Amino acid sequence: MAVVFVLVAVAVLALLVGVHRYVWRRLVGDTTAPGSALRRAGTAAAWLLPLLSIGALVSGRAGAPFRLQQTLAWPGFLWLAALLYLTLALLVGEAVRPVLRRVLARRAADGGTADRAGAAAGSDAAEMGSSPAEVNATGTPAAPATLVVEAPAPPSAAIDPSRRLFVARAVGGAAAVAGLGTVGYGTYGVLRGPRVKRVTVPLAKLPRSAHGFRIAVVSDIHLGPILGRAHTQRIVDTINRTQPDLIAVVGDLVDGTVADLGPAAEPLAGLTARHGAFFVTGNHEYFSGAAQWVDHVRELGLHPLENARVETAGFDLAGVNDVAGESEGQGPDFERALGDRDRARASVLLAHQPVVIDDAVAYGVDLQLSGHTHGGQLWPGNYLAELANPTVAGLERYGDTQLYVSRGAGAWGPPVRVGAPSDITVVQLASRHA
């Protein structure tokens, strides 16, 4: 296992070095003069930014002071997102580059042909204006004018350096605008806060009395060095405006300890719903001290469901720990949460990761509410998320069980979302007897 880890680490490191080298060459090496101030600045950035990214990734796990984590997080994580979209934009530019060169070469050739034609016409006119009888000052007949036409440059001639530089700067500049613009827009989407989605889910066993029951589902808030108290307050305000009957916080609330992030989580105490707010752990809670966070959210007024179940408004609400808790002997226990319940009643399960859907089906759950995937967060990450999750986002059916996966309200790592906007989902339950 250790050998495999080392090999994977070396492969990832080699990939990152190669990608940074490629981006430097296209954006700096090909567009700036050797020894220039711009070349030196670009080269320094090519060394500094990846070091900041590594620092942002490891500082939290290494127990670095929270202030240092915050200092490293913004530039380090944003550079990871920028590197992705700069690389994608430059790869598109590789297809554009030869086309642009051919267009410029054709225009240059057309211009050279026109110049030579003009010169030839001038020589012909001068020759027609001279008479064979013209003599020079000594009385000797003048020599006839000779027309000289330059041969066109062979196609294999080297590309004009100025033309090569223009193409490099045009393609590199366009790639920089596209890549950084994408990251900027994706960052705005996260900092603006999640938007509300509404989904109606019919449940065959739901009684008429519970028809229209609304659950506000929020997952993957990811409080940490970047997203703090203001982010939490935006989420709380958005949820409360929907006036839900019940609130479900489906894991990955934090990326850090209670000591560092307790104040950032305090606005959760302002969540209001007729049937209360409930919480289950996500994998990131087990990186951050899950037991302490369970106690803290309880102090804030949320009800942790640790492999437990409550009866409410015509259906059973159950919650299981995240699968990451297995490393601490605190993994999901479906038997404890659902084993002795009355299966004639409708049931809703809170489980952070969609991958436990098979267990939910086996225990007769009617609806599972999950998060974890972020919807991929950064396109084309959704294709990778599909490899590891049965559902990446939205509502799907598995036998008699329905699974709804939220894209989440925050972001992990880069505070950027592209093609996967953050959301808070109001799930409205519908009875077939209504």
Q: What is the pLDDT of residues 320-339, one digit of tens each?
A: 999 999 999 999 999 999 99
Q: Is the dihedral of CA 276, 356, 329, 324 positive or negative?
A: negative
- Nearest of 35, 387, 432, 416 to residue 226 by alpha carbon: 416
Give the number of other CB atoms < 10 A from CB of residue 349.
28
In this structure, the strands spanning 394-398 and 401-405 are: antiparallel
Question: Cβ distance 417 to 378 under 8 Å?
Answer: yes
The predicted model scores a pTM of: 0.86
Query: Distance between CA 282 and CA 320 in Å, rounded?
Result: 10
Query: Distance between CA 341 and CA 311 in Å, rounded?
Result: 10
Structure-token match 């992030």, residue found: 261
In this structure, the strands spanning 346-350 and 315-319 are: parallel
Is it the case that residue 141 has pLDDT exceeding 70? Answer: no
Sheet holding 423-431, edge to edge: 195-203, 423-431, 214-218, 246-250, 277-280, 303-304
Question: Cβ distance 259 to 292 under 8 Å?
Answer: no
Token pair of 378, please? 């950064």
Is it the case that residue 173 has pLDDT exceeding 50? Answer: yes
Q: 113: pLDDT confidence band, cut at 50, 70 and 90?
A: low
Query: Distance between CA 383 and CA 385 in Å, rounded?
Result: 5
Indicate the length of the chain as a whole number: 434
Query: Distance between CA 378 and CA 87 in Å, rounded?
Result: 14
Query: Distance between CA 173 and CA 177 in Å, rounded?
Result: 6
Question: How is residue 63 annotated by DSSP?
Answer: T
Q: What is the pLDDT of residue 418?
A: 98
Q: What is the pLDDT of residue 12?
A: 85
Q: What is the pLDDT of residue 116?
A: 58
Q: What is the pLDDT of residue 135?
A: 46
Is it the case that residue 403 has pLDDT exceeding 60? Answer: yes
Q: What is the pLDDT of residue 162?
A: 85
* Mean predicted confidence (pLDDT) in 140-150: 50
Which SS3 state, helix, strand or coil, does residue 246 take?
Answer: strand
**DSSP string for 70-120:** HHHHHHHHHHHHHHHHHHHHHHHHHHHHHHHHHHHHHHHHHHHHHHHHHHH
Strands (E) across 106-245 are located at 195-203, 214-218
SS3 breakdown of the chain: % helix, strand, coil, rounded to 5? 50, 15, 35
Q: What is the pLDDT of residue 128?
A: 47
Residue 223 pairs in a beta bridge with: 254
Query: Distance between CA 73 and CA 151 in Å, rounded?
Result: 61
Is it the case that residue 144 has pLDDT exceeding 70? Answer: no
Q: 294: pLDDT confidence band, cut at 50, 70 and 90?
A: very high
Q: What is the pLDDT of residue 401?
A: 97
* Mean predicted confidence (pLDDT) in 178-205: 97
Q: 163: pLDDT confidence band, cut at 50, 70 and 90?
A: confident
